[in-house]
């Protein structure tokens, strides 16, 4: 009907029972069999059931799509340590939570830590799981003759590098549980309590830039140096979003924020390169709206890496002063201006004869000023102090040019000495 609009307000009670029935029907629609889905393509990934949904985040929030994707790929075995901030508010808006479970009753384990110690908190989860797994493996070896050498060997030697192998391990652990239930011994009861840790856990440390770049950076650096199998997801809004928009070390030059009312005078901290410097940390910058396939690839590579991984995700925010309905398309402009370069650093590539640093975005084709003045955080300075704005925007453009020049060189560098060169020495 012509008079109908996109949203037509009507009394709720007139439609409540009908829509409840419709929603119940929607929930009963069976999910796609994960074994039939191609995880490596964007369309395939979006057929997977999200175990993060119905959050209370701001409309158009740039953070939540990354958490949804993470929950689709790894959610039924994920353990999440979440720093206090926006992601903990919409992640644990009790008595409700957007984290869900599948038909098998499996879903993410979510915990919220203090703002300043989330990295240590998440690392503690990894250490606890590793200790329990080591204990389970020791008990399993002791009971090999009772449980069956073939089953025990298959469990202990399972690589669990992809979803199919993890599902196979789950089936083996279920068989193990059935056998243990028939045994009456102390060791059987002890192994029953920790058997689930034989299925690979996906441990995630999640927080914003205020935590990662600033208040929690000391702990974050400690985790980066640990070499442990944890995945760090930094939802980078480039400002303290949850507490009112204060400037952080992630805030770029020329942007206006609280404590930087005249435009931030210094450039943004390059957290990614600081992590790359360790050499054994997987690092990637992603922007889902600009390159969803690169984002998907980075998430899968990071989680498959058996060391520490750091994903820095460009997250649009109402504090940027943009039309949040353009949140995804706006990210494309951030990439074409060189403001947010996309790259992946994979330590595994350093030892197979290839170059570990992959520059995934193309050389900038638009001026930063053209992109920046579409955002309120830059435009307000141009209106209030045009001379200062022009000076800082020029310096910000130089930051972009210099960083791109550096990244281009990084993409051509071999990190390690080849075996032939080593022998020649």
Q: What is the 3-state secondary structure (H, E, C) of the chain?
A: CCCCCCCCCCCCCCCHHHHHHHHHHHHHCCCCCHHHCCCCCHHHHCCCCCCECCCCCCCCCCCHHHHHHHHHHHHHHEEEEEECCHHHHCCCCCCCCCECCCCCCCCCEEEEECCCCHHHHHHHHHHHHHHHHHHHHHHHHHCHHHHCHHHHHHHHHCCCCCHHHHHHHHHHHHHHHHHHHCCCCHHHHHHHHHHHHHCCCEEEEEEEHHHHHHHCHHHHHHHHCCCCCCEEEEEECCCECCCCCECCCCCCCCCCEECECCCCCCCCCCHHHHHHCCCCCEEEEECCCCCHHHHHHHHHHHHHCCCCEEEEEECCCHHHCCCHHHHHHHHHHHHHCCCCCCEEECHHHHHCCCCCEEECCCCCCCCHHHHHCCCHHHHHHHHHCHHHHHHHHHHHHHHHHHHHHHHHHHCCCCCCCCHHHHHHC
Which pTM does this prediction carry? 0.93
Helix axes 163-181, 149-157, angle to 10 degrees: 140
Q: Domain residues of the chain, as ranges? A: 64-114+200-410, 123-198
Listed residue (70, 99, 108, 309) closest to 201, CA to CA: 108
pLDDT in tens, 67-108: 999 999 999 999 999 999 999 999 998 888 999 999 999 999
- The Cα–Cα gap between 318 and 257 comes to 12
- Residue 174 burial by CB count (10 A; 0-12/13-18/19+): exposed, middle or buried? exposed
- In the prediction, which pLDDT does 423 show? 66
Q: What's the order of all strands across the beta sheet hosting 282-286?
A: 109-113, 78-83, 202-208, 231-236, 309-314, 282-286, 343-345, 357-359
pLDDT of residue 422: 66
Q: For 96, what's the count of Cα atoms within 13 Å in the CB-facing half-sphere?
A: 8
Dihedral of alpha carbons 245, 248, 254, 259, sign: positive
Q: Distance between CA 150 and CA 411 in Å, rounded?
A: 46
Place of tokens 């993060």: 52
Weakly modelled stretches of the chain, pLDDT under 70: 418-425
Residue 29: what are its φ and ψ, rounded to 5°? Answer: -65, 125
Q: Note the pLDDT of residue 420.
A: 61
Dihedral of alpha carbons 107, 133, 88, 269, sign:
negative
Rounded to a whole number of angstroms, the CA Rg of the chain reads 24
Cβ atoms of 140 and 156 within 8 Å: the answer is yes
The reply to whether omega before 95 is within 30° of 0 (cis) is: yes
Tell me how many degrees the CA angle 144-182-168 measures, rounded to the nearest 5. Answer: 60
Report yes or no: 99 and 206 within 8 Å, Cβ to Cβ.
no
Over residues 16-74, the pLDDT tens digits come to: 999 999 999 998 999 998 888 998 999 999 999 999 999 999 999 999 999 999 999 99
Diameter of the chain measured on Cα atoms: 82
Distance between CA atoms of residues 272 and 251, nearest Å? 15
Question: Architecture of 64-114+200-410 per CATH?
Answer: 3-Layer(aba) Sandwich (3.40)
């Amino acid at each position: 009907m012509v008079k109908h609009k996109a949203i037509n307000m009507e009394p709720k009670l007139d439609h409540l029972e009908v829509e409840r029935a419709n929603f119940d029907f929607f929930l009963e629609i069976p999910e796609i069999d994960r074994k039939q889905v191609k995880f490596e393509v964007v369309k395939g990934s979006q057929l997977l059931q999200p175990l993060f949904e119905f959050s209370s985040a701001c409309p158009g929030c740039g953070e939540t799509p990354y958490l949804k994707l993470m929950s689709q790929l790894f959610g039924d075995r994920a353990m999440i340590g979440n720093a206090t901030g926006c992601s903990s508010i919409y992640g644990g808006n009790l008595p409700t939570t957007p984290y869900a479970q599948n038909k098998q009753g499996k879903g993410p384990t979510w915990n919220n830590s203090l703002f300043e110690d989330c990295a240590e908190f998440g690392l503690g989860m990894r250490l606890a799981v590793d200790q329990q797994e080591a204990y389970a493996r020791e008990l399993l070896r002791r009971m090999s003759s009772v449980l069956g050498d073939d089953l025990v060997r298959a469990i202990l030697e399972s690589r669990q590098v992809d979803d199919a192998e993890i599902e196979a391990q789950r089936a083996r652990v279920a068989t193990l549980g059935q056998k243990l239930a028939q045994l009456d011994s102390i060791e059987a009861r002890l192994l029953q309590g920790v058997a689930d840790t034989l299925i690979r856990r996906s441990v995630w440390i999640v927080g914003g830039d205020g935590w990662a770049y600033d208040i929690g950076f000391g702990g974050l650096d400690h985790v980066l140096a640990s070499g442990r199998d944890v995945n760090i997801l930094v939802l980078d809004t480039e400002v303290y979003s949850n507490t009112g928009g204060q400037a952080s070390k992630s805030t770029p030059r020329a942007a206006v924020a609280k404590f930087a009312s005249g435009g931030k005078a210094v450039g943004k901290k390059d957290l990614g390169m600081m992590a790359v410097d360790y050499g054994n940390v997987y690092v990637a910058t992603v922007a889902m709206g600009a390159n969803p396939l690169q984002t998907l690839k980075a998430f899968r590579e990071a989680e498959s890496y058996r060391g520490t991984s750091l994903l820095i995700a460009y997250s649009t925010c109402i504090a940027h002063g943009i039309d949040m309905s353009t949140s995804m398309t706006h990210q494309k402009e951030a990439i074409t201006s060189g403001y947010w370069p996309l790259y992946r650093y994979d330590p595994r590539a350093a030892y197979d004869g290839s170059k570990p640093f992959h520059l995934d975005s193309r050389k900038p084709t638009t001026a930063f000023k053209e992109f920046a003045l579409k955002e309120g955080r830059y435009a307000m300075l141009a209106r209030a102090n045009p001379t200062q704005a022009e000076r800082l925007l020029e310096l910000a453009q130089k930051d972009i040019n210099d960083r791109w020049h550096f990244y281009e060189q990084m993409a051509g560098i071999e990190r390690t000495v080849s075996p032939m060169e080593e022998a020649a020495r």
